[in-house]
Amino acid sequence: MKLLNKESDLEFLSVEYENIQFHMLRSDDRLSFISCIVCVCETAQEIIGNWRAIQNMVAVYHQHSGGFDAWNMYLAFVSAERISVWEKYEIENNKFSARKIVLDGLQENIDIDQLILELERQLFGSDLKLETQPSLVQENSTDFGKYYRGAPLDFKNESKEKRAFMVDKIIKSLNSDEN
């Protein structure tokens, strides 16, 4: 999944906050729609002083009243300056209106394409790689595999009975080892 820079009318924010740049990003996947309003601030103090008012304006002027809007809407606050851990925690853990991300300590004059890559890492884990490794068999481990291999995983009655029989075999095996 990718984030795309979309033209959107964010004038309701731009008029109120002249020192902050606003960008609208949207996912390219129709089935898992995500939107993100990026607020690029010159200082950390602009974020700290304005994030609540910005979220309120987004809630009033941009979001629908449908109940799931807050879970597919993000507000990303960006600054080259560092924000205190406590302030960042407070902003990111406030779930009113939208989920929030604070990207601080970034290079000055970061362009939107770099921000998109960073937000894709934050939102989608795009930097994660799945590596396959051969499973290591421990020689001295108890081999329960012989008791549960081939267990049916469906909800049929005969499958449930077979799994119950397998569990009984394991319990009997453990009880016989104790004596």
pLDDT tens-digit profile of 153-168? 888 888 888 888 888 8
35-73 per-position pLDDT tens digit = 889 999 999 999 999 999 999 998 888 776 555 555 688
Q: What is the mean pLDDT of residues 82-106?
A: 92
Q: Cα 103 to the chain's mean position, in Å? A: 15
| Sheet arrangement for strand 3-6 | 3-6, 21-27, 35-40, 73-78, 99-103
42 or 107, greater pLDDT = 42
pLDDT for position 69: 52
Minimal CA–CA distance to 78: which of 91, 60, 63, 69? Answer: 91
Dump the DSSP string for 23-92: EEEEES-SSS--EEEEEE-SSHHHHHHHHHHHHHHHHHHT--SSTTGGGSEEEEEE-SS---HHHHHHHH
Average predicted confidence (pLDDT) for the chain: 81
pLDDT for position 140: 45
| Greatest distance between any 2 Cα atoms in the chain | 80
Q: Give the lowest-confidence range in 6-15, 45-54, 91-100.
A: 6-15
pLDDT for position 56: 92
